[in-house]
Structure 1
């Protein structure tokens, strides 16, 4: 398609950015908004591993508000806080939690990991065991109580542990017992707290999740779950959803009442690396990535989740420098901010700007319309429909999801039919660059209650057809 091209060009640091440039009039750029200027949304950004000093909040905090996410996931760090039995040093968290909240980004804090100063206290690392001895469990209870007491005015949500299924010795029942004892302490101190389970690493361990939920159900503990989170990484994010739907059906089968399930299902940690396989560590390290394919992958995960009514935590804001003694060693390049060797920030990556565009636009004023299914003439193209509740303008997200995102991809010219929409000035938006293009009159028409768009260039990352008014 001569009319539709993907132009690749080098940015500083060797990053690549895609510009989809149809021969259509450019009429502006998507506006980005600071978190303080967004009333509410479901978007969260990862701020993990400060409990082990693998990232530097003081270096990246200036990027946090402008990113536009309304929540940030933090890890509480029992072993970092209690290095001497019975003595707590909260200085490191005091420099983070109030600051994030002041920037309009609500912290949700994960209570983890173990503390080896206690015999049977578990390990202070990913995949470490939960505390098991009576002394360690009592110390855990005391630390949780102190944490929640200190930050209950700034932390509305508490997550209990991270990826417990990574440790092969853990069982769903054991984690259920540990979760319930912890949840009861949180609720005693902060009755209005929202509680988050389970941080599952795998999306296939339905047996583990079922055993966990069965224990809670048998012990009147389901009332202590407000949100259930999962992770699960796939090279093509679009292939994850059949299994994710099985997990969601399982979770919703434990619904405590009639109507919509009251245990919210949430993607709690997901993102892609930005470097070749010989550079990064962590999930998806077996593939070669670039800053462009990272941005594409992140966009597909975010809007694939959003189009299915699943809240999302994008992993993560800063590259993570894992140290010896943990589950892995090296730099996990899933950060949307590129770091220097000392963990300070070198610059934002392409994915940072892409995330800004999504976080700024899809706030609580943009309503998903799950019963409206835009029709497309390409079997590989995903499409989801939304409405701006302020002015009624229609928005439709589109991307081609047949493969893992590529550095070079020819957009698919696609016909899109939108029922029950509202368009007076339709535009096409590129979420990577933020460029807004006016869709020529020759490429759209109204047929009864439907709108038909033809020749829409759909790349392997999300773009948007929208009424221009819906972007305001």
Structure 2
């Protein structure tokens, strides 16, 4: 046998270290809920993306089009995370840097060729946003968040050429195309004007890839009625409402549980035009640092890695409990450059970055997201008509059933305020009609699984009553042990 070269040994040791470490986020013991009298019996086992057949979860992979994150640095973390989809931005201006004058357009797709096929090979399906503008063309729009859409005849023709090239190149790996991002941030982008632009682009995509799903529009505001109504009115006028398969919205709130009345208002507005449109939360997450450090949404408040993990869990499972698919924003901290909508580091990433955008380590939120993605897959059925009864008015609760073994699972959290660094759990009585052969209590931040003491639960027929269950300000579970993936 040949001796290994020093270079190969160094690389091998690095890969072994990375494999052992990237699935685990640091977790200070003082932050873990340790329910009094509950015996720890197991740990949730994160499942990789390829171990999960299907789910509604997506992870954000945004801003590669402007080089604000580094895909090559964060890609090893995608498979172990467990999200089945990733949101990417196409980046017209990064693909086409020289104006086409009297010749066919020339594109540099090398950067996307290093991303889209790789994500797909890891079992993480890319859904790609067609954006932003390209200022090399007069009236070609702006290549930044909150920028102007293409408006000139020349700019729109060049846009069409790029969209055509994108869809033809990646149609075997991309089945969902989102058209633009947060157009309502720029007041010059009217709802009617964006509708004209949307119809043009949607018809072009469909002409190349008839079975593609079309996603509109990643609106920043919720319910964004002043923008959405003229947008929908124009689509209705052009008999084009069927060009929207999925509507994505963002909208950030310091207490994520306060978001849903406005989301419901938006849903009712859109469904009054076309009740077949599916809703998806297209971008949401919390920062992990103090107000003075982060930029972007929710920067007015101080955050830590713990409160970020709590907030992300609440947004994900409040969406899921309402049957809304979720894109968790985002995989890696984002380093915005001067000249864009903002400048600085947006610390909403599940991965903490170094100044050069390489990955320093996973945060608590990475591990928390693993626990959700591994547990809430297509094997669990949401029972929207079977709400648990809880003794605390401020506790949110949703109920699920395992499709194969009928075991029950319930999510619980205190929803009255923004997630805090410290919080005294609320002792809560929970009554559930379901099936629990071996009920356990699960902390979704730490992944610890506890046996519920015999004197704190009882069964009467198919009704189970759990007493004095400690409910913190982030989701925990009461679950039949059979529905969980565990390491004992």
Q: Shorter-chain TM-score category?
A: over 0.9
Q: Which residue of 1 aligns with 2:413?
A: 399
Residue matched to 1:429? 442
Write the deviation string for residues 388-428 of structure 1: whole angstroms up to 9, x where unpaired: 10110000000001100001001000000112x00111000
Q: Deviation of residue 448 (structure 1)?
A: 3.6
Once superposed, which parts of structure 1, at least 4 consecutive aligned residues long, lie more than 2 Å away? 11-18
**In the alignment, what sits opposite 2:398?**
384
Task: Please list the CA deviations of residues 108-156 of structure 1 after superposition, one character each: whole Å capped at 9, or x if unmatched.
Answer: 0000000000001111000000000000000000000000000000001
Unaligned 5+ segments in structure 2 are 1-23, 100-104
* 1:229-273 per-position Cα deviation (integer Å, ceiling 9, x unaligned): 000000000011111111111122222xxxxx3210110000000
User: What SS is found at the alignment partner of 1:234?
Assistant: coil
Could you say what secondary structure the match of 1:282 adopts? coil
Residue 118 of structure 1 pairs with residue 173 of structure 2: no
Unpaired stretches in structure 1, ≥5 consecutive residues: 1-10, 256-260
**Residue 253 of structure 1 aligns to a residue in which SS?**
helix
Residue 292 (structure 1) aligns with: 306
Q: What is the SS of the residue equivalent to 1:20?
A: coil
Alignment length (residue pairs): 456
Question: What is the CA–CA distance in structure 1 between the aligned matches of 2:162 and 2:70, rounded to whole Å?
Answer: 23
State the Cα RMSD in Å: 1.3
Matched, 1:301 2:320: no
Give the C-alpha shift of residue 356 in structure 1: 0.2
- Whole-angstrom distance in 2 between the partners of 1:367 and 1:211: 37
Question: Aligned residue for 1:268?
Answer: 282
Instruction: Give the match's secondary structure for 2:273.
Output: coil
Contact 1:17 1:350 in 2 (8 A): no
| Residues in 2 aligned to 1:235 and 1:440: alpha-carbon distance in whole angstroms | 35
Question: TM-score, normalising length from structure 2?
Answer: 0.92
1:122 touches 1:130 (CA, 8 Å); kept in 2? yes
Give 1:15 shift.
7.1
The offset of 1:12, in angstroms, is 9.5
Alignment of 1:306-325 (within 5 A): 306-325=320-339
Note if contact 2:25-2:366 (Cα within 8 Å) is conserved in structure 1. no
Which residue matches 2:341? 327
Q: Tell which deviates more after alignment, 265-274 or 214-223.
A: 214-223
What residue in structure 1 maps to residue 353 of structure 2?
A: 339
2:152 aligns to what? Answer: 133
Q: Distance in 1 between matches of 2:30 and 2:62?
A: 26
Task: Tell me how far 1:207 sits from its aligned partner.
Answer: 2.3
Q: Does 1:246 align with 2:259?
A: no
1:337/1:447 CA distance change after superposition, 3 Å: same
1:92 maps to 111
- Quote the offset at 1:447 in angstroms: 2.6
Which segment drifts farther, 338-347 or 214-223? 214-223
Structure 1 contact 67–359 (Cα < 8 Å) conserved: yes
Is the 1:299–1:354 Cα contact (8 Å) retained in structure 2?
yes
In structure 2, the partner of 1:452 is 465
Q: Kindly indicate whether the alpha-carbon contact (under 8 Å) linking 2:435 and 2:462 is maintained by their aligned counterparts in 1.
A: no
Residues 273-302 of structure 1 show CA distances to partners (whole Å, capped at 9, x for unaligned) of 000000000000010000000000000000
Task: Please state if 1:45 is matched with 2:68.
Answer: no
Q: In 1, distance between residues paired with 2:216 and 2:358?
A: 32
1:22-33 correspondence runs (5 A)? 22=35, 23-33=37-47
Distance 2:435 2:25 in 1: 41
Take 1:428 and 1:13, find their aligned partners in 2: how far apart are those partners? 22
**1:7 is matched with which residue?**
none
Q: How does 1:196-235 map to 2 (within 5 A)?
A: 196-235=215-254
